[in-house]
Amino acid sequence: MRQLIYATVISFIISILIGPIIIPILEKLKFGQSIREEGPQSHIKKTGTPTMGGIIMMFAVFVTSLLFAWKNTNLIIAMIVTLSFGLIGLIDDFIKVVLKRNLGLRAYQKLIGQLIIGAVVAIYAANHPYIGTTLLIPFTSEYLNLGIFYIPLTIFVVVGTANSVNLTDGLDGLATGVTLVVAAFFAIVSLGSGYTGLSIFSGTIAGACLGFLKFNAYPAQVFMGDTGSMALGGAVAALAVLTRMQLFLPLIGGVYMIEALSVILQVSFFKLTGKRILKMSPLHHHYELKGNHETKVVVSFWIATAILALISMLALSIF
């Protein structure tokens, strides 16, 4: 418990301290966010706000994790997965912001990188003596052995989670606050399940998010960009895989899942009928266009995640 607290506080302090250093640099380099014209009109004023601020969280997580990395292999793996996804996001942001190519990396380029990372963590987990090919079933103390289906399912979970978090990052503080709650959940669960290293790593994510929220909450001084959202998605996915809790992601990561499903349903329905189910996707924009202020939508999603975290606790037999 003491190490978890230390990791959370250290990561928070690093994030708070380097924010005022990184943000002016991003402003000076003119790494500003481009806002879609077809998006909510209230977002137009955000044009030019510095992006790629996920560097702040990545740095805080990396430095803090190094202080404890020598003690736990799982922590090292989780950190590598997080930084690897963050690197994909960083390259994507660089192409969009610096090279002025709006689409960034091609979809297939991002997918190939994500699949490789997903395969590495899936193979590692499948061959780990204390993880293997079993998944904890929610609301029971039973485990489901997937055998040969474990690796493809886990790759799907890793890639899907990373992209779902990426889609959630559309309002000031939304993805940051939701992931803060999710990371706190994994910190408590990992500690209770005996995954000390992963508990510490979860603390570094929670601390980094909490510190970054100071600069990312409405009105945001900086956006995390794909650099941050992909890194956070990788972190959540890695924690779920290494704690054998992939089946819990639809619950604890319910906001991520609903955001992703809203996009899939919107696109699919439009292609089939030429009509839209929502005013705009992802879901958070739909609620904005219905007249809800951005902060109201964000706080509502934070509350929903907190409730889902409590339900997820009930779904664990250790509590």
Structural domains counted in the chain: 1
The verdict on residue 75 lying in a domain is yes
Which positions make up the binding site for Mg(2+)? Answer: 166, 226
pTM greater than 0.75: yes
The verdict on residue 154 lying in a domain is yes
Print pLDDT tens along the chain (319 aa).
889 999 999 999 999 999 999 999 999 888 876 665 556 656 667 677 899 999 999 999 999 999 987 768 999 999 999 999 999 999 999 898 877 776 678 888 999 999 999 999 999 999 998 899 999 999 998 999 999 999 999 999 999 999 999 999 989 999 999 999 999 999 999 999 889 999 999 999 999 999 999 999 999 999 999 999 999 999 999 999 999 999 999 999 999 999 999 999 999 988 888 888 888 989 998 999 898 999 999 999 999 999 999 999 999 865 5
The verdict on residue 315 lying in a domain is no
The verdict on residue 294 lying in a domain is no
Name the residue among 192, 208, 177, 173 with its Cα closest to residue 57. Answer: 208
The verdict on residue 224 lying in a domain is yes
pLDDT at 41: 58
The verdict on residue 21 lying in a domain is yes
The verdict on residue 259 lying in a domain is no
The verdict on residue 288 lying in a domain is no
- Give the range of the structural domain holding residue 77, as residue numbers without chain letter: 2-247
Which positions make up the binding site? Answer: 166, 226
